[in-house]
Each structure stands twice: as structure tokens, then as C-alpha cells.
Amino acid sequence: MSMFRRQGDRYVAIFAVDEVRVLRKVASEVVGLLTDGFDHDDPVVGRLFPEVYPDDAAGSAEFRRYTEGDLKTAKIDQAGAILAALPDGDSGGDVRLDAEAAEAWLRALNDARLAMGVRLEIKDGTDLGEELDDAVAEDPTSSRVFQLSVYAYLGYLQESLLNALID
């Protein structure tokens, strides 16, 4: 598994082909969710764009009217930062991020994890290792095992980038 390291003013990781594929797919799905599939009734959209005033629907709608477009654009751009930095084609390789791109990656990884967490029904306090063990015991070839593994990988990658940023 790749891990980010600081090299001068850059944050560098070497990604295997499968890691590039997963990151490309995850970032593309976030972009798709925020463009083609944007639906306020979708729980994932609700998680990525939480109500600012939970007890005031009119106030939340008014706030959303003024801020949602810019926030959505920022989230799309952040996912795009992942896509732009990944090696071209179907290969692995180095990713080198400046501080601005690293911050965009952190936010995009967070958005992807929030989206996956909603779809996987992961709650606060969920023991991810236990959840994965249970899924493997039930059916090691299930899509849930893969999705939980991707969710864990994104968390690992996010943590390694955050640690590189604060070193």
C-alpha cells in the first residue's frame, strides 16, 4: 500500500496499478454524484451537504441557495485534483503534490469516505476491522468486502497524507 512522504515542499507516494484504478474510480464516482446524480433526497448528498439549520428548513434552504453551487464546484475540483495527479493510462507510478493539491486530496478523500460510509451504513463507533471480518466470514468474494476494503484504504491514505503534511 502506498504511503505519502514529504520530500522538500512536495508530498509523494508511489501507487500500484490497482491503487490508481481504485482512486480513479472513487474520484470519478464523487464527480458523478455531484453532477449527474445530484439529488437532495440521496442520503449521501445529505451527508456531503448537511443542513446548516436542522430546525429551520426555510433558513437551510436559503443558505443552500447561496452557498451550494460554490461548495459543489469546490468538491468537484477537489475530486478532480485526485484525477489530475494520478499517473496517466493504466499504470502505477509517482504522485507528487504541492501543499494546495495535498489539501484538495485530503478534502476529496474525506468526501469519498463520507459517501462510502453512508452507502455501507458505517456509524460512529463502528469497528471497521470487525465489520470487515464479519463480511469476509459471510462471503469473502462479496462486493461488501471489496467496498469495506476500499473504505479502509482511503482512511489509511488520508491518514498518511495528513501525517506527511504535519511532519
Among all chains, which residue has been given the C-alpha cell 472513487? 26
Rounded distance between C-alpha atoms, residue 46 and residue 64, angstroms? 12
Question: H or E stretch including 39?
Answer: none
Domain residue limits at 69: 5-166
Residues 76-81 have a mean pLDDT of 97
Cα radius of gyration (the chain)? 17
Contact 115, 31 (CB under 8 A): no
Question: H or E stretch including 107?
Answer: helix 99-119
Whether pLDDT at 39 is above 80: yes
What is the distance in angstroms between the CA of the first residue and the CA of the last residue of the chain?
A: 20
pLDDT of residue 111: 97
Question: Helical H runs in 35-56?
Answer: 43-48
**Short-list 105, 111, 156, 112, CA closest to 132:** 156
pTM: 0.90
Contact 164, 4 (CB under 8 A): yes
How do residues 1-28 score in pLDDT, each as one tens digit?
779 999 999 999 999 999 999 999 999 9
Whether pLDDT at 90 is above 80: no
Contact 13, 3 (CB under 8 A): yes
- Structurally, the chain folds into a number of domains equal to 1
Q: How many degrees, rounded to 5, is the angle at CA 43 between CA 41 and CA 48?
A: 105
